[in-house]
Chain A
Amino acid sequence: MNLERDKTLWRLAMLIPPLAVFGVLVVWPLFSSFYYSFTNWNGFGANYRYVGLDNFLQIFDDPLFMRAIVNTVIWMLAAVILPTGLGLVLALLIDSQVPGASVFKSIFYLPICLSAIVVGQIWVWIYQPDWGLLNTAINLVTGGDSHFAWLAKPGTALYAVIAAWSWQQTGLAMVIFLAGLTAIPSDLVEVCHIEGASTGQRIRQVRPATVVVVALGVINSLKGFDVLYIMTGGGPFNTSDTLAMHMYNESFKKYHMGYGSAISVVLFLIALAIIFAYFRQLRKVDQIYE
Chain B
Amino acid sequence: MSTLILKNIHKSFGAVDIIRGVDLDIRSGEFVVFVGPSGCGKSTLLRMISGLETTSSGTISIRDRDVTHVPPAKRGIAMVFQSYALFPHMSVADNITFGLRLQHAGKEEIARKLTEIADILHLTPLLDRRPKQLSGGQRQRVAIGRAIVRNPAVFLFDEPLSNLDAELRVSMRVEIAKLHRRIGATMIYVTHDQTEAMTLADKIIVMRSGKIEQAGTPDALYADPDNLFVAGFIGSPRMNFLGGILEADGQVRLDCGATFRSGILPAPTTPSAPITLGIRPEHFTGTDEAGGTVDVRVDMVENLGGTRFVYGTLKSGQAVIVEDRSESALRDGASISAGFPARKALLFDAEGRRIRSSDTANAMAAQ
Q: Which residues of A contact B (CB under 8 A)?
A: 1-4, 6
Contact = CB atoms under 8 A, between A and B. Distances in A.
Contacts of B71: 2-3, 6
B70 interface: yes
Contacts of A2: 69-71
Contacts of B72: 3
A3 B52 CA distance: 8
Interface string B53-71: 0100000000000000111
A4 B69 CA distance: 10
A165 B69 CA distance: 60
Contacts of A3: 51, 54, 69, 71-72
B50 to A, nearest CB: 11
Contacts of A1: 54, 69
12 contacts: A1-B54, A1-B69, A2-B69, A2-B70, A2-B71, A3-B51, A3-B54, A3-B69, A3-B71, A3-B72, A4-B54, A6-B71
Interface residues of B, number: 6
Contacts of B54: 1, 3-4
Nearest to A4: B54
A4 B54 CA distance: 8
A87 to B, nearest CB: 36
B98 to A, nearest CB: 19
Q: Chain A binding site: helix, strand, loop or mixed by DSSP?
A: helix
Interface in B51-100: 51, 54, 69-72
B67 to A, nearest CB: 10
Interface of B: 51, 54, 69-72
B299 to A, nearest CB: 35
A6 B71 CA distance: 9
Q: Chain B binding site: helix, strand, loop or mixed by DSSP?
A: loop
Nearest to B68: A1
A3 B54 CA distance: 8
Q: Which of A1, A3, A4 has the most CB of B within 10 A?
A: A3
B209 to A, nearest CB: 25
A108 B54 CA distance: 54
A2 B70 CA distance: 7
A71 B191 CA distance: 67
A2 B73 CA distance: 12
A29 B54 CA distance: 42
Contacts of A6: 71
Contacts of B69: 1-3
Contacts of B51: 3
A271 to B, nearest CB: 37
A99 B230 CA distance: 64
A121 to B, nearest CB: 44
Contacts of A4: 54
A97 B54 CA distance: 54
A1 B71 CA distance: 9
Nearest to A6: B71
A211 B69 CA distance: 48
B9 to A, nearest CB: 15
A2 B74 CA distance: 12
Given A2-B69, A3-B51, 10 more contacts: A1-B54, A1-B69, A2-B70, A2-B71, A3-B54, A3-B69, A3-B71, A3-B72, A4-B54, A6-B71
B74 to A, nearest CB: 9
A3 B71 CA distance: 6
B11 to A, nearest CB: 13
What are the 7 closest A-B residue pairs judged by CB atoms, nearest first? A2-B69, A1-B54, A2-B71, A3-B71, A3-B54, A1-B69, A4-B54
Nearest to A1: B54
Nearest to B69: A2
A6 B70 CA distance: 11
A211 B196 CA distance: 51
Nearest to B55: A1
Contacts of B70: 2
A6 B54 CA distance: 13
A1 to B, nearest CB: 5
A115 to B, nearest CB: 36
A271 B359 CA distance: 76
A2 to B, nearest CB: 5
A3 B72 CA distance: 8
B159 to A, nearest CB: 23
A83 B69 CA distance: 58
B190 to A, nearest CB: 20
Q: Which of B69, B70, B72 has the most CB of A within 10 A?
A: B69
A82 B51 CA distance: 57
A1 B72 CA distance: 12
Q: Which of A1, A2, A6 has the most CB of B within 10 A?
A: A2
A4 B72 CA distance: 12
A3 B68 CA distance: 10
B171 to A, nearest CB: 35
